[in-house]
Amino acid sequence: MNPLCCIAPVSLEHAADHLHHHQQPSPRILAAATPPPPPQPAAAAAPAAAVAGVLHKWVNYGKGWRSRYFVLEDGVLSYYKLRGGGGVVGGAGEAAAFAAARVIGEGGALRRAREEAAVAGKQWRPFGEVHLKVSSIRASKSDDKRLYIFSGTKTLHLRCETEEDRNAWIDVLLAAKDRFPRSLTSNDLGPMADIMLSTEKLRGRLLQEGFGEAVVKECESIMMSELLELHNQIKSQQQQHSILIDRLRQLETEKVELERTVVHETKERETHGYANGRQSDFYSVLSGGSTSESDPDTASQVAQVETEEDEVTYFDTRDFLSAESLRSASCRRKEIMTNGCNGSEYVGDSVANTIKTTKYPFVLRRDKLPEPKEKEKPIGLWSIIKENIGKDLSGVCLPVYFNEPLSSLQKCFEDLEYSYLVDHALQWGKQGDSLMRILHVAAFAVSGYASTEGRQCKPFNPLLGETYEADYPDKGLRFFSEKVSHHPVVVACHCEGRGWRFWGDSNLKGKFWGRSIQLDPIGVLTLQFDDGETFQWSKVTTSIYNIIIGKIYCDHYGTMRINGSGQYSCKLKFKEQSIIDCNPHQVHGFVQDNRTGQKVAMLIGKWDEAMYYVLGDPSVKPKGYDPMSEAELLWERDKSLNQTRYNLSPFAISLNELTPHLLKKLPPTDSRLRPDQRHLENGEYEMANAEKLRLEQLQRQARRLQEKGWKPRWFKKDDDDSYRYVGGYWEAREKRNWDGIPDIFGQNSVSPGLP
């Protein structure tokens, strides 16, 4: 028998004193007092029976509504996945309790779920839980079968089979919440009672075994010191627990107050009417905030919508400005643009100005991609790039399935889809209106991001020395770009319009962070008009989310400063999308006078929809001023998208078009001649993959070429360490003189897909 089994109660409060008095006879009992009997708790109400049933839970846009087995017990709502036949995934450790649970609803899925739960064993684990004590329950206003459960971090969207089932669930959920009206506090946990301990039996047993008095005292001392240390640790844990409970109670109180505030402000907005709501939306953007909806049916609550695979953030947004006011502003601008001799007009300072739009010839271009010749083979992205987290993306080799049939050189030209804005800026400048010029330049800088919405595939990384030309007389411009460096990857471009030039170079620093890719652009874009006025800006950061699982989407955020050499400059802020933001893709900023620093106009809109301007400084207007009454449309996105796998716009579809006539004029370095890209466009995936692997071998040799002093053919570094076009390309194209231009694609055959 172990001697420590003979321990009887004694107080630990006196243990420390006992350790310091070894010279005195050890007391037979360190504390004879016994703790007072604990107070008898009041008779508790009988615990409520569990409630179970099958509900439809919103997962994401890809999976939609899915059936889940829900169980409510002790204030916790748990849910379990169901197999295709309706069975529960897992076991049924609580089978007996759930067998006696109250059931809401009926049907085969519920019956099979309960049968599976009753026989599956002791391995049942819920897929998710919601503690009703810190949650709120609301019924849908638009669907009599739906309800919502809001917690501090997520939102459950649930749908019942009938309205009666929904009412029954709401009743039991509210009743369960009422059973837990508040969190415990430190006052609910009384002071820790003294633990009584006696060494009488231990001393007697040790003396019986023949141990001396000194050994007995040493054993008592060791035992007391160990137990005292344990007692102190328990007290420390109790104090931390009390602090945590107090903090949870504080958070619960703040959450309730926040919900009440949102509901109150929503009622005030509805009471004051439509116009005031429009103004508050506008001023929320002025202050850098965002609007919110309190109606659960919009699915844009403060909490994040829970998805079982974290696949997508579920938003059903509305415009940050009223739809009617935006529509009226858009209509006003369109009426003005069609007024008179195909001009555009605005009224400012009581002077009416008109600009003439330039007429360009019509060019017939293709409006769809070729039909795929093979069926695409899906492949798991995670299995390829899980070893590359935190690394530079230029070193990650992906199969061709993750590409779109465009190169990064062609993507540069896609930024000029709305080049008519620059043409308008040119005309305004000729009339001496520098303010309207920079407003159109700012709209042009934003419009380049519109084509990224809905694009889920990456462009091809060009080979060193690869080029791309775009001769678009229907837009009045000629564009040329070249990959001028392989490490780091730098692409340079040059564009000539009628009365203006545009150039720049771009070096994207990309990092993979597990669930997202961050792209930080390095480089300056320059727009120069023939009258000498120049504007320069840099692009903002781009992040691509849900690349492993879920619906892929991109966001652009940061500050764009458009520095003008003339009277005005502009500052634009691309607002980063968050999980609580019901109005993504916002852009707003101001035009400032370079001499006085005064704000003379405001820009507001979304990079994937439209941009508007308001003359003057709206922030100093009197209270009650409705800025949208003066807002004018600058630019609106062309929303005609072809239903292709790549979500390319009609303009983007034309970028890789290769006709027999054009083939005779192109140099062997043009992106249209790249075989893997051409095979991908034709839907020949196996051949595209094989060519991509072959070209990647050539790409690895490019770095060695660059280290040996390779220099780009059509661009040269200037004193600012930026690449500038040196000229000569279009002259060589006219003569079809490509002497000294290497066959970088390693082939002399006609591009695939051409006769």
pLDDT digits (tens, 9 = 90+) for 91-142: 444 444 455 678 887 766 666 666 665 555 445 577 888 888 778 888 888 8
State which of 158, 179, 200 marks the end of a domain: 179
pLDDT at 202 (0 to 100):
82
CATH code assigned at 124: 2.30.29.30
The residue that leads in pLDDT, 476 or 340, is 476
The H or E element that residue 525 is part of is strand 525-529
Check pLDDT > 80 for residue 428: yes
Stretch 351-372: mean pLDDT, rounded? Answer: 80
What was the pLDDT predicted at 138?
A: 87
pLDDT of residue 254: 67
Mean pLDDT score of the chain: 75
Residue of 309 and 492 predicted with greater confidence = 492
Average pLDDT, stretch 512-534? Answer: 88
Asked if the model's pLDDT at residue 203 lies above 70, the reply is yes
Q: Is the pLDDT of residue 420 over 70?
A: yes
**How much is the pLDDT for 382?**
58
Assigned domain for 43 exists: no
Does the residue 130 lie in any domain?
yes
pLDDT recorded at residue 363: 93
Instruction: With respect to residue 728, please indicate whether it lies within any of the assigned structural domains.
Output: yes
Tell me what percent of the residues of the chain surpass a pLDDT of 90. 31
The total domain count for the chain is: 2
Q: Which residue has the higher pLDDT, 395 or 104?
A: 104
Can you read off the two tokens belonging to residue 343? 């001009």
- When pLDDT is averaged across residues 552-563 and rounded to a whole number, the result is 92
Residue 578 CA to residue 92 CA, distance in Å, equals 39
C-alpha pair distances (Å), 719 with each of 131, 493, 663, 716:
64, 17, 36, 10
Pick 291 or 677 by higher pLDDT.
Answer: 677
Return the pLDDT at 540: 94
Does residue 14 surpass a pLDDT of 50? no
Q: Which residue has the higher pLDDT, 677 or 277?
A: 677
pLDDT in tens, 619-644: 777 776 666 678 899 999 987 766 67
Which among 139, 135, 133 is positioned nearest to 152, based on CA atoms? 135
Given 3-state DSSP classes, what are the helix, strand and coil percentages for the chain, each rounded to the nearest 5? 35, 25, 40
Q: What is the pLDDT of residue 658?
A: 94
Residue length, the chain?
Answer: 755
Q: Which of 124, 144, 179 is where one domain is finished?
A: 179
Which residues constitute the domain of residue 437? 381-556+638-735
535 assigned to some structural domain: yes
Q: Is residue 693 part of a domain?
A: yes
Which of these three, 125, 154, 179, is where a domain ends? 179
Residue 501's pLDDT band (boundaries 50, 70, 90)?
very high
Strand partners, 136: 150
Instruction: Tell whether 199 is covered by a domain.
Output: no
Q: Does residue 577 lie in a domain region?
A: no
Q: Is 67 a member of any domain?
A: yes
Kindly state the DSSP code that residue 198 receives in the 8-state scheme.
B
Q: Give the highest mean pLDDT range of 150-164, 208-222, 602-616.
A: 602-616
Pairing of strands 586-593, 467-472: unpaired
